[in-house]
């Protein structure tokens, strides 16, 4: 059982959607809660059971009310849990927080969340662990974490408890003071923020706030004018890099209460772990930024300690302080020092690579005291970052690729900057970068790994991006890339992408065209004797890309093509390799639309004709013939029109990847061959009248069947040895047009309906064919045979393909079909010869079995207020087909719903003094929630019926 | 200052990938949704995250030479914060996904962006990023051990501990601490009596005799080219590791580092967060700014209150005038033979007493070694089992002349080819030195036993040690092209 649960829960967290398609969220939640309440389950397993509630509460609790109920359940589990299961109780608190926050119970101030809040405060104040069990401390600490999360998710929830929190923090001498400090700082920050949002709030209000401890915020709200405005939205961090956005609270210089709170928090910050310290300092930075009455210098006592730290998050807080206070806390020397420090940290041998990369990113977003640019989030160099300083960060071949590219980028920026000013040093910087690029190229040449290849091309792109104006280097790079390509043709796709991306990104630069031209040159000039098939494959890909460029003369490409297909020099044509032939054709296709086509006409025609006659693959021959015909018969404009369509869309080149798109749309041929998609729904399926659905067979009272209960039940159950027995339900629908009138769909033919399941409660459905559907004739009936795996309500997605009168084919989606729970009901599938007595015996037999077994069986009771007459009507209206007892026997109705494949729901309905009791017994407890919602619906609608009558 | 989700993934060079652990913080996700508004992108399911992350890290489809999404030259993954392009219903870019990887493990988390997300804020404005990095690094150390070496069973058992560990260090997505590497081995008492607050990073109080152990290790790196046109490079960095067993809730200890007269100042000093205060003059000297005119050269005082476990009190770098061992390496290609000549010279300021000293001469992109006719003036020469590496063990001492040589020729005629390396082709080759010298530092920096002050009742036992070790100590063949390794030469 335990292993089962662990497996089940891990399946859920791997893919909640797939898991829930096999059951329902309600059922799974019910199952979880049941197991959590079960005393026999071990607490280790119970901890695992809580994880879906912690991680996906909103999936399991679909509404606020479900969340509220779940939370109440969990709280009762908490209350009953023995104090020594500390771990489990901590996990429970986390789960409760998750459920209440994510189902909006906290922001809705629900009863459960108020109770939970009280519970948390009780736990947080319970210091009985000081002399007792140390492990109980983690309960207090978790309670603080939960309070803090509630405050973060629902700002100012705890504003009224500031004084209490402050007291708790000050009294605590164990390591737990950290938990209180974090909580205190967050509540303080939110409360101060709230004050800044109120007009006229000042020093007095601040003082009141710090001393206030009345009750929970939302209770105080109603009568406190001060707390009139609620900060309900979740609050973003106030220090975000853009200046002047921090709201302020005008207090004048008199705010010694706040100052003393801040000092005390700062003083103790040293005692916190680095992570909590960073968090606390950041919160206090925000508070100081909001209250101009407190000088930022209050933070100065901590600064040196933080600037010297080896902890990344602590150093980061000083950068954020710098961002918030600029020159009111940091002098120009400080700024220079911090920047130097950042450079040191970016390449420190003892720091990890991710940390160094982070620091490098901080250099490019350095919070300057007097920024020149507006800081729009782009990378900018700090003014103080000189070449000399940055030289510590030059890329080398020993760097990992992320570091290398980051440094390459940074140094390129520095070079660009300096290039505008000086002459000496920046030249050497550029030389260095170029040399570095070339040493990477050598490594690639010598068989570097895939990672190095990718890194090299990324570095090359960066170099071109920043320095495409330095022609000397770019020309030399082109030359080297061509040489590289000849030796490693498999790098073809990298080169094509490099050309594409430089072309797209640097519109004014001609470098990409130059590279392609150079590649064409080396490919066509290389001796054919050494050409391998592998090389040829890549050459043709590159040449196809070259042929896209109108500025590049294509004569050499054509020469190359003719020389490779001529039998004297190659066996290509004889081999009949379809892919290669297709690559040749792709080049030809681009040549057909090349602006210099006139000069290429005869040699191109020769190539195509040769392919059409000699190539060893019929498909290639056919396509070559088509191209040949197009080339020789169409005028240039038409040819361009036929072939170029679709190649240029929305200004960007769209590459046709599909191998079959050798010709493009001409005479609406494709429109006949393709299936169109309707914009709106055309068809719908509506439930046929229920009388049609289920025929009620009159059964004789005294016909044959076994006499004794057990024998009857056995005979009944024996029927299920045939797996197909009573396994299907049949639902009837009418196929009709939707209301919207579109005359072109008035007459539809060869309609094929396809159904898709939304979960896996049912077996896949077969497609259904309908010959025709005319708007003015009666709707045909469609019969859906559903085979349940689990008889739950479900939704079917339906679509149809059909033909219209003009011969076009269409695909359309139909509105979803909802299969209700009661649609799955079937009468007892007893042998048709059995009489009512036998049926009753089956009922009794099943009832007893269910009451005695405990596996999945369960009994339950549903009550409602219905008058006797109304009850009879209700039974007649809803239960007649399933009634096992005699309708005239109004003392007790016995109803049996059979749900394929093998579930039963048995009802004994009886009017008692106060209400009607529906005694329920079922062999599948997971069906209960569905049944009770069904009963609720029919009994309440009965009320309405009566009212309206 | 929180994270939305956490994943731990194991893989073997991009294959056999699996998510070993994942955790979503639903309340933080709730906040993310509300903060991001219409630009909110939900965290996709595990398998999707896995696929996208591997693509972004260049690890997916390891069999294919080129995959456009993975290898595009325009796209530069901004490690450590990469972006995942989520397709399908919750379409959008998930950012910033922090990912760190070591050996077979990839640890990733998604920090909450708690500032306006349009336009995308710089990484530097999100405190959750540096916190996320700290948490991931802490988890990594916990899972792989401080040596960074994984073992299957150990890893599995530590992964199984994660739920309860996270309950302590990150119960609701706000990281509070990094996991402890097992309980401290020294006797402690957990209660704290009196008014002094217990630091949160200290689980108890030590009881017993006071012992303070301070180890100073200097590491020297070098790139020597033996070439007029190229300046040789070397650098030194030191770390001071402490283990303090001192009574009291918040005992005070001060360690002082001192330099010899004329010693060059310690630079780039980084300290452990338990250091209580720092003098600004200690932080001034920096290796990246040679124009620095400060003349401060110690003593360097570090007052701190020690945690229970061993920790790195501080680290520094230092500029020393000469490398400890100066080498020259010359190769000549002669038919299928290499003629080689090596000289290593130990500087006179270095103590001639090694714990070990070895020179490794690897030969890449060649066949296996055949005949090795090489003479060494001192020490012992071995050919590795794979026949592609010469190991010259120099032992504990250089000869009186402080100079050793190796001469001879090697033919390459083995039946199979040796290892390849795209960097070391042709005559590009190196010697790598491995050595350790106890009881000395290159910078001259030392911790005087008498200068260690412990403010506690009992007189503590104080143990100090120091040593010098090499790392990445390369001597390149001067007749071949050697890779550039520093920007110093461009100035």
Measured in residues, chain A has a length of 949
- CB atoms A307 and B283 under 8 Å: yes
Q: Could you tell me the pLDDT band of residue A312, with boundaries at 50, 70 and 90? A: very high
Work out the minimum CA distance from B144 to partner chain A, whole angstroms.
15
Identify whether residues B270 and B388 lie together within a single domain. Answer: no
Half-sphere exposure (Cβ direction) of A125: Cα atoms closer than 13 Å: 11
CA B218 to CA A151: how far, in whole Å?
48
Question: A494-507 pLDDT, tens per residue?
Answer: 999 999 999 999 88
Find where tokens 């019929």 sit.
Answer: A618
Under 8 Å between Cβ of B138 and B147: no
For residue A278, the tally of other CB atoms under 10 A from its CB is 31
Give residue-wise pLDDT tens across range B197-244: 899 998 888 888 899 999 999 999 999 999 888 889 999 999 999 999
Is residue B204 a part of any domain in this protein?
A: no
Q: Is A171 touching B (CB cutoff 8 A)?
A: no
From A429, A458, A453, A428, select the one nearest A441 (Cα to Cα). A453
From CA A298, how far away is CA B322, in angstroms rounded? 46
Q: Is the pLDDT of residue A646 over 70?
A: no
Tell me, yes or no, whether B205 lies in a domain. no
Rounded to an integer, what distance in angstroms lies between the CA atom of residue A727 and that of residue A3? 32
Q: Enumerate residues 6+ apart whose C-beta is below 8 A from A74.
A: A33, A36, A53, A92, A95, A96, A99
Find the largest Cα–Cα distance for chain B. 82
Task: Look at residue A221 and tell me whether its pLDDT is greater than 50.
Answer: no
Residues 6+ apart with CB under 8 A from A184: A162, A165, A166, A168, A169, A265
Task: Specify whether B433 is located in the same domain as B458.
Answer: no
CA-CA-CA-CA torsion for B177, B181, B185, B187, nearest 10 degrees? Answer: 20
Task: Please answer yes or no on whether B273 and A308 come within 8 Å at the CB atom.
Answer: no
Chain A CB contacts of B175 under 8 Å are 275
Window A:85-144, CB contacts with B under 8 Å: 87, 90-91, 94, 97-98, 101-102, 130-131, 134, 138, 141-142
Kindly state the tokens that stand for A891: 């003392």
Average pLDDT over residues A785-797: 89
Place of tokens 């922090």: B98
Confidence label for A241 from pLDDT (cuts 50, 70 and 90): low
Based on the fold, state whether residues B312 and B427 are members of the same structural domain: no
pLDDT tens by residue, A693-725: 444 444 444 556 666 778 888 888 888 888 888
What gap in Å lies between CA A683 and CA A739, rounded to an integer? 9
The answer to whether B28 and A145 have CB atoms below 8 angstroms apart is: no
Predicted pLDDT at B89: 67
List pLDDT tens digits, range A594-606.
999 989 999 999 9
Q: What distances in angstroms separate CA A819 from CA A358, A609, A731, A784, A824, one per listed residue?
A: 54, 63, 9, 11, 8
pLDDT(B251) > 60: yes
Interface test with A, best of B19, B30, B109 (most A CBs within 10 A): B30
Do both B413 and B338 map to the same domain? Answer: yes
Cα separation of the two ends of chain B: 41
- Model pTM? 0.83
In the stretch 520-579 of chain A, residues with CB closer than 8 A to chain B read none
Which range among A82-96, A245-259, A695-709, A890-904 has the greatest average pLDDT?
A82-96
Give the list of residues 6+ apart from residue A698 with CB closer than 8 angstroms, or none. none
- Whether residue B184 is predicted with pLDDT greater than 70 in this model: the reply is no
Residues of B whose CB is below 8 A from A490? 65
- Give the pLDDT band (50/70/90) at residue A923: confident
Torsional class of A128: left (φ above 0), alpha (ψ -120 to 50), beta (otherwise): alpha
What range does the domain containing B423 cover? 325-439
Closest by CA position to B306, among listed B456, B140, B145, B192: B456
Contact A394 B163 (CB under 8 A): no
Q: A123-137, A590-604, A730-744, B258-272: which range is least confident on average?
A: A123-137
CA distance B188 to B205: 5
Residue A712 in contact with residue A842, Cβ under 8 Å? yes
Residue B175 in any domain: the answer is no
Considering only CA atoms, which of A913, A778, A921 is closest in space to residue A844? A921
B487: closest CA of chain A, how far (Å)? 5
Q: Give the start-end residues of each E strand in B192-250.
A: 205-206, 211-224, 233-245
The pLDDT score that the predictor gives to residue A869 is: 79
Please report whether residue B187 resides in a domain: no
In whole angstroms, how far apart are CA B437 and each of A685, A696, B397? Answer: 87, 99, 10
Could you tell me if B405 and B377 are in contact, meaning their C-beta atoms sit under 8 angstroms apart? Answer: yes
pLDDT over 70 percentage in chain B: 93
Q: What integer is the mean pLDDT of B62-81?
A: 88
A-chain residue closest to B196, CA distance: A173
Chain B residue whose CA is closest to A153: B31
- Flag the least confident range among A212-226, A477-491, B125-139: A212-226
Residue B18: name the closest of B9, B29, B7, B30 by CA: B9
Phi, psi for A232 (deg, rounded to 5): -90, -30
State which residue of chain B sits closest to A380, comparing Cα positions.
B122
Question: Mutating which of B273, B311, B428 best tests the A interface, going by the most A Cβ atoms within 10 A?
Answer: B273
Mean pLDDT taken over chain A? 85
Give the closest-approach CA distance of A453 to chain B in angstroms.
Answer: 9
Q: To which H or E segment does residue B95 belong?
A: strand B92-102
Report the gap between the CA of A914 and the closest CA in chain B (Å).
45
Give the pLDDT mean for B14-23: 90
Chain A residue with CA closest to B271: the answer is A309
Q: How far apart are the first and last CA of chain A?
A: 54
- Tell me whether residues B114 and A310 touch, CB distance under 8 A: no
E strands, B377-426, where? 380-383, 389-393, 403-417
Q: Kindly determine whether residue A241 and residue B172, on different chains, have CB atoms separated by under 8 Å.
A: no
Which segment of A353-357, A374-378, B144-148, B341-345 scores lowest on mean pLDDT? A374-378
Q: What is the CATH number of the domain that holds B411?
A: 2.60.40.1170
Neighbours of A2 (CB within 10 A): 11
In a shared domain, residues B313 and B452? yes
pLDDT at B135 (0 to 100)? 97
Q: Any idea where the domains of chain A sit in the sequence?
A: 528-648, 683-823, 824-948
Reported in sequence order, the residue ranges of A605-674 that DSSP labels E, i.e. its strands, are 648-649, 652-653
Give me the sign of the Cα torsion angle A655, A658, A663, A669.
negative
Lowest mean pLDDT among A152-156, A168-172, A775-779, B300-304: A775-779
**Distance, CA of A392 to CA of A341 (rounded, Å):** 12
The tokens 């640097």 sit on which residue? A506
pLDDT value, residue B103: 86
Q: What is the tens place of the pLDDT at every residue in A673-694?
A: 678 888 888 898 988 875 434 4
Alpha carbon separation from B369 to A810, B377, B383 (Å, rounded): 72, 21, 9
Task: For residues A840 and A844, give the distance between their C-alpha atoms in angstroms, rounded to a whole number.
Answer: 6
pLDDT per residue as tens digits for the range A816-864: 888 888 888 988 888 888 888 888 888 888 888 888 876 777 888 888 8
* Count of domains forming chain B: 3
Residue B175 has pLDDT above 90, yes or no: yes
- Residue B411 distance to chain A (closest CA, Å): 22
Fold (topology level) of A824-948:
TATA-Binding Protein (3.30.310)
pLDDT (mean) for A167-172: 92
Mean pLDDT of A154-174: 91
The CATH code belonging to domain A683-823 is 2.60.40
**Cα–Cα distance for residue pair B2/B171, rounded to 1 Å:** 11
d(CA A691, CA A387): 88
Are the beta carbons of B483 and A396 separated by less than 8 Å? yes
B386 located within any domain: yes
Do B399 and B332 belong together in one domain?
yes
Residue range A798-823: mean pLDDT, rounded? 88
Token pair of B261 as six digits: 């007269």
With a pLDDT cut of 70, the percent of chain A lying above it is 88
pLDDT for position A939 = 81
Helix, strand, coil percent values for chain B (each to nearest 5): 15, 40, 45
Would the CB atoms of A310 and B315 count as touching at under 8 Å? Answer: yes
Q: Are B139 and B179 in contact (CB under 8 A)?
A: yes
């Amino acid at each position: 059982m335990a292993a089962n649960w662990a497996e089940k829960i891990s399946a859920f967290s791997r893919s909640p959607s797939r898991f829930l398609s096999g059951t329902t969220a309600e059922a799974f939640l019910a199952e979880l809660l049941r197991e959590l309440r079960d005393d026999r389950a071990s607490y280790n397993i119970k901890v695992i059971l809580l994880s879906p509630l912690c991680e996906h509460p909103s999936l399991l609790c679909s509404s606020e009310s479900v969340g509220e109920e779940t939370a109440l359940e969990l709280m009762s589990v908490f209350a009953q849990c023995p104090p020594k299961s500390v771990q489990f109780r901590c996990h429970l608190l986390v789960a409760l927080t998750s459920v209440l926050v994510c189902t909006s119970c906290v922001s809705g101030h629900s009863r459960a969340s108020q109770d939970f809040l009280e519970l948390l405060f009780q736990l947080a104040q319970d210091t009985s662990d000081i002399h007792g069990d140390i492990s109980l401390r983690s309960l207090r600490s978790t309670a603080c974490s939960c309070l803090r999360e509630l405050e973060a998710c629902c700002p100012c929830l705890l504003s009224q408890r500031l004084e209490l929190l402050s007291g708790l923090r000050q009294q605590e001498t164990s390591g737990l003071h950290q938990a209180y400090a974090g909580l205190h700082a967050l509540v303080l920050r939110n409360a101060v923020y709230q004050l800044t949002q109120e007009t006229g709030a000042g020093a007095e209000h601040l003082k009141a706030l710090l001393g206030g401890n009345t009750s929970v915020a939302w209770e105080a709200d109603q009568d406190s004018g001060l707390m009139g405005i609620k900060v309900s939205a979740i609050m973003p961090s106030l220090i975000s890099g853009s200046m002047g956005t921090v709201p302020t609270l005008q207090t004048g210089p008199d705010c010694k209460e706040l100052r003393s709170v801040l000092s005390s928090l700062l003083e103790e910050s040293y005692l916190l772990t680095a992570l909590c310290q960073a968090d606390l300092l950041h919160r206090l930075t925000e508070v100081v930024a909001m209250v101009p009455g407190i000088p930022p210098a209050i933070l100065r006592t901590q600064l040196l300690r933080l600037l010297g730290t080896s902890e990344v998050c602590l150093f980061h807080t000083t950068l954020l302080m710098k961002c918030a206070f600029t020159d009111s806390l940091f002098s120009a020397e400080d700024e220079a020092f911090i920047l130097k420090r950042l450079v040191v940290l970016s390449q420190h041998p003892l720091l990890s690579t991710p940390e160094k990369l982070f620091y490098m990113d901080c250099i490019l977003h350095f919070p300057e005291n007097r920024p020149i640019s507006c800081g729009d989030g782009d990378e900018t160099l700090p003014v103080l970052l000189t070449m000399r300083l940055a030289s510590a960060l030059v890329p080398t071949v020993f760097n990992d690729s992320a570091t290398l590219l980051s440094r390459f980028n940074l140094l390129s920026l520095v070079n660009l900057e300096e290039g505008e000013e000086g002459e000496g040093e920046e030249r050497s910087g550029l030389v260095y970068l170029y040399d570095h690029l070339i040493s990477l190229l050598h490594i690639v040449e010598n068989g570097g790994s895939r990672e190095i290849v990718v890194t090299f091309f990324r570095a090359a792109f960066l170099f071109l991006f920043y320095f495409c104006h330095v022609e000397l280097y770019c020309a030399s790079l082109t030359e080297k890339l061509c040489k590289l390509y000849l030796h490693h043709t498999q790098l073809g796709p990298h080169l094509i992408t490099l050309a594409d991306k430089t072309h797209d990104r640097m519109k004014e630069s001609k470098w990409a065209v130059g590279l392609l031209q150079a590649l064409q040159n080396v490919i066509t000039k290389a001796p054919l004797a050494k050409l391998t098939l592998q090389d040829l494959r890549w050459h043709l890909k590159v040449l196809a890309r070259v042929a896209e460029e109108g500025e590049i003369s294509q004569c050499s490409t054509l020469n190359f093509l003719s020389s490779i297909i001529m039998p004297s020099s190659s066996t290509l044509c004889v081999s009949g390799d379809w892919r290669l032939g297709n690559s040749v054709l792709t080049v030809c296709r681009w040549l057909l639309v090349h602006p210099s086509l006139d000069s290429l006409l005869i040699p191109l025609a020769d190539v195509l004709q040769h392919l059409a006659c000699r190539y060893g693959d019929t498909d290639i021959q056919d396509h070559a013939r088509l191209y040949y015909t197009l080339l020789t018969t169409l005028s240039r404009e038409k040819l361009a029109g036929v072939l170029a369509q679709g190649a240029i869309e929305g200004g960007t080149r769209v590459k046709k990847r599909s191998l079959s798109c050798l010709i493009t749309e001409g005479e609406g041929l494709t429109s006949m061959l393709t299936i169109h998609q309707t914009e709106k729904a055309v068809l719908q399926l509506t439930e046929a009248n229920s009388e049609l659905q289920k025929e009620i067979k009159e059964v004789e009272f005294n016909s044959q069947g076994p006499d004794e209960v057990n024998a009857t039940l056995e005979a009944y159950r024996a029927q299920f040895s045939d797996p197909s027995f009573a396994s299907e339900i049949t639902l009837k629908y009418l196929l009709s047009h939707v209301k919207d009138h579109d005359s072109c769909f008035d007459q539809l033919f060869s309609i094929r309906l396809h159904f898709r399941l939304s979960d896996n409660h049912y077996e896949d459905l077969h497609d259904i064919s309908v010959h025709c559907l005319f708007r003015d004739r009666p709707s045909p009936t469609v019969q859906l045979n559903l085979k349940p795996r689990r008889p739950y309500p479900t939704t079917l997605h339906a679509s149809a393909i059909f033909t219209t009168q003009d011969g076009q084919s269409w695909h359309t989606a139909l509105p979803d079909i909802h299969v209700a729970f009661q649609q799955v009901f079937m009468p007892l599938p007893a042998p048709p010869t059995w009489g009512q007595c036998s049926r009753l015996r089956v009922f009794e037999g099943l009832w007893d079995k269910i009451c005695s077994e405990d596996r999945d069986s369960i009994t339950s009771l549903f009550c409602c207020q219905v008058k006797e007459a109304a009850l009879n009507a209700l039974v007649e209206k809803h239960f007649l087909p399933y009634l096992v007892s005699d309708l005239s026997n109004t003392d007790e109705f016995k109803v049996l719903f059979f749900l394929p494949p093998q579930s039963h729901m048995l009802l004994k309905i009886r009017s008692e003094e106060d209400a009607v009791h529906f005694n329920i017994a079922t062999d599948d407890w997971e069906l209960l929630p569905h049944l009770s919602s069904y009963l609720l619906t029919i009994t309440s609608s009965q009320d309405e019926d009566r009212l309206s009558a | 200052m929180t994270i939305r989700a956490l994943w731990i993934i194991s893989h073997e060079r991009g294959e056999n990938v699996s998510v070993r652990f994942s955790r979503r913080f639903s309340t933080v996700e709730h906040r993310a949704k509300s903060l991001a508004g219409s630009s909110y992108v939900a965290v996709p399911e595990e398998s999707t995250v896995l696929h996208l992350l591997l693509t972004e890290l260049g690890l997916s489809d390891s069999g294919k030479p080129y995959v456009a999404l993975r290898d595009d030259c325009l796209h530069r993954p901004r490690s450590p914060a990469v972006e995942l392009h989520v397709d399908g219903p919750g379409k959008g870019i998930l950012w910033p996904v922090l990912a760190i990887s070591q050996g077979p493990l990839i640890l990733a988390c998604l920090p909450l962006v708690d500032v306006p997300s349009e336009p995308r804020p710089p990484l530097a404005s999100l405190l959750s990023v540096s916190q996320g990095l700290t948490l991931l690094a802490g988890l990594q150390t916990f899972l792989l051990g401080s040596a960074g070496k994984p073992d299957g069973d150990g890893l599995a058992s530590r992964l199984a501990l994660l739920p309860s560990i996270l309950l302590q260090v990150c119960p609701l997505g706000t990281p509070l601490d990094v996991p402890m590497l097992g309980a401290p081995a020294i006797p402690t008492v957990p209660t704290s009596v009196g008014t002094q607050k217990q630091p949160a990073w200290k689980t108890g109080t030590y009881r017993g005799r006071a012992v303070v152990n301070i180890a100073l290790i200097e590491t020297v790196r070098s790139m020597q080219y033996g070439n007029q046109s190229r300046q040789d490079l070397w650098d030194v960095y030191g770390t001071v590791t402490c283990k303090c067993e001192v009574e009291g809730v918040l005992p005070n200890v001060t360690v002082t580092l001192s330099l010899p007269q004329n010693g060059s100042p310690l630079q780039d000093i980084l300290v452990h967060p338990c250091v209580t205060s720092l003098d600004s003059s200690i932080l001034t000297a920096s290796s990246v700014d040679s124009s620095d005119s400060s003349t401060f050269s110690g003593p360097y005082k570090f007052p701190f209150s020690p945690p229970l476990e061993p920790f790195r009190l501080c680290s520094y770098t230092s500029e020393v005038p000469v490398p400890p061992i100066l080498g020259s390496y010359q190769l000549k290609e002669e038919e299928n033979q290499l003629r080689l000549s090596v000289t290593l010279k130990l500087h006179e300021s270095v103590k001639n007493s090694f714990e070990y000293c070895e020179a490794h001469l690897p030969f890449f992109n060649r066949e296996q070694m055949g005949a090795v006719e090489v003479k060494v003036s001192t020490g012992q020469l071995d050919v590795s089992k794979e026949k592609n590496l010469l190991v010259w063990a120099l032992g504990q001492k250089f000869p009186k002349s402080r100079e050793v040589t190796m001469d001879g020729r090697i033919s390459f005629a083995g039946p199979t080819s040796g290892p390849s390396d795209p960097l070391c082709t042709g005559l590009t080759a190196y010697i790598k030195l491995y050595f350790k010298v106890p009881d000395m530092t290159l910078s001259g920096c030392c911790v005087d036993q008498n200068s260690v002050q412990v403010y506690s009742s009992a007189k503590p036992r104080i143990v100090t040690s120091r040593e010098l070790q090499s790392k990445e100590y390369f001597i390149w063949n001067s007749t071949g092209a050697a890779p550039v390794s520093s920007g110093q030469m461009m100035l």
